[in-house]
Amino acid sequence: MLDPQARALLDLIESRGLPAVYQQTPVEARAAYRERRFFTQPATPEMAEVRDLGIPGPAGDVPCRSYRPVGSQPGQLLPALVYFHGGGFVIGDLDTHDVLCRELSNGSGCAVISVDYRLSPETRFPGPVDDCLAVTRWVSANAASLGIDRNRLAVGGDSAGGNLAAVVAIGARDAGDTPIAWQLLIYPCTDIRMGTESHRLNGDGYLLTRDSMNYFYGHYLKDPADKLHPLASVLLHPDLGGLPPALVLTAGFDPLRDEGRQYADALSAAGNRAQYVCFERQIHGFITMGKVLDEANTAVALCATALRRALAS
């Protein structure tokens, strides 16, 4: 059964006749995503500190936002989460995920660094990957100046951001210069081929549609052959061993449900510690919608608690 609150939200969107993402230009879709957040997101939590940063990337500074939780002290070394927002690699920014990052920081007692990587189609694969890797490496190398414990650094993200977090964990493992302690993968896209049963069952009618995914991936990839690249479809990576422990969270009415579960299974099969939780009655994108979906707040609390435990000293 679809969560009644999610059903009411979908019915409201349909009744208002709002254009789908794939019916808009990327610029229009970005503006609409920013504007709609006020309807579904909770009130903005207070923090001990919030500041915007410019962190060096391969094409200039990458805009980032640093959060420190309520109750933390200046100069205190905190565990930290580097967070990559969702939005299909095309939409989303620091503001669309501001409330979620605040909630994760306060709930876990960790610092959070939110990353505004370059979007597609202006920057196609692997440009966003390169940004996220560069920011994560810089945060690790400059942890002390940020008030962060370098040995307690996690990566995380939702949807496209979950893909990027998984890729960063692999890149950090391969480079050997950036220790990552944990991964938070919220309904990640892990197989851009879109061939699972949940894509067939949930590809229409549940907010994230097949047409929207084709729009996102069409803007992200330079060539259809990139669907098979292991840093795009991370589920296809030939070596998933030696990766940080992970929490993979999915939604039952999400087209991405099956590939999220498959990635959790692949992590476990490769010898990693992985936990998997599915909110069976929810839709894609639900975790940022705590103003209208009660289960979103439950999911945020679950993620924050798992993050706190994973990065405990």
The β-bridge partners of 113 are 66, 82
The residues near 244 (Cβ < 8 Å, ≥ 6 apart) are 154, 155, 169, 180, 181, 182, 183, 272
190: tokens are: 């892990």
What is the rounded CA–CA span in Å between residue 69 and residue 47? Answer: 5
3-state secondary structure of 257: helix
- Catalytic hit among 66, 114, 120, 159: 159
Task: Give the pair of three-digit tokens for residue 125.
Answer: 């694969």
What does DSSP assign to residue 58? B
Per-residue pLDDT tens over the stretch 85-98:
999 999 999 999 99
The angle at the Cα of 199, spanning 196 to 203, to the nearest 5 degrees, equals 170
Strand pairing partners for 182?
Answer: 154
Pairing of strands 148-158, 111-115: unpaired
Exactly one of 85, 219, 229, 284 is catalytic; which is it? 284
Query: Cα separation of 213 and 201, whole Å?
Result: 14
Task: Supply the angle between the helices 127-141 and 160-175 in degrees, to the nearest 10.
Answer: 60
Instruction: Note the pLDDT of residue 103.
Output: 98
Give the mean model confidence (pLDDT) for residues 276-284. 98
Consecutive H or E run containing 155: strand 148-158
Identify the helix (H) or strand (E) that includes residue 122.
Answer: none
| Structural domains present in the chain | 4-310 (3.40.50.1820)
Strand locations in 85-139, DSSP E?
111-115
Catalytic residue from among 93, 116, 130, 254: 254
Q: In this structure, what token pair is assigned to residue 277?
A: 């939780």
CA separation for the pair 251, 81 (Å, rounded): 22
Amino acid at 198: S
Q: Is 284 a catalytic residue?
A: yes
177 contact partners, CB below 8 Å, separation of at least 6: 137, 140
Cα dihedral 289→93→186→271 (10° resolution): -170
**Would you call the peptide bond into 128 cis, given omega within 30 degrees of 0 as the criterion?**
no
Number of H helices, E strands in the chain: 10, 8
Residues 263-277: what's their mean pLDDT? 98
- 157 in Cβ contact with 234 (< 8 Å): no
Active-site residue flag, 254: yes
| pLDDT exceeds cutoff 90 at 75 | no
29 and 280 Cβ atoms separated by less than 8 Å: no
Instruction: Work out the pLDDT band at 120, boundaries 50, 70, 90.
Output: very high
Residue 130: strand, helix, or coil: helix
Q: Calculate the average pLDDT of the chain.
A: 97
Q: Tell me: the pLDDT tens digits for 134-180?
A: 999 999 999 999 999 999 999 999 999 999 999 999 999 999 999 99
Asked whether 159 and 284 are in contact (CB, 8 A), the reply is yes
**Is pLDDT above 80 for 276?**
yes
With a threshold of 0.75, does the pTM exceed it?
yes
Known catalytic membership, residue 66: no
User: Looking at residues 41-59, what average pLDDT do you find?
Assistant: 98
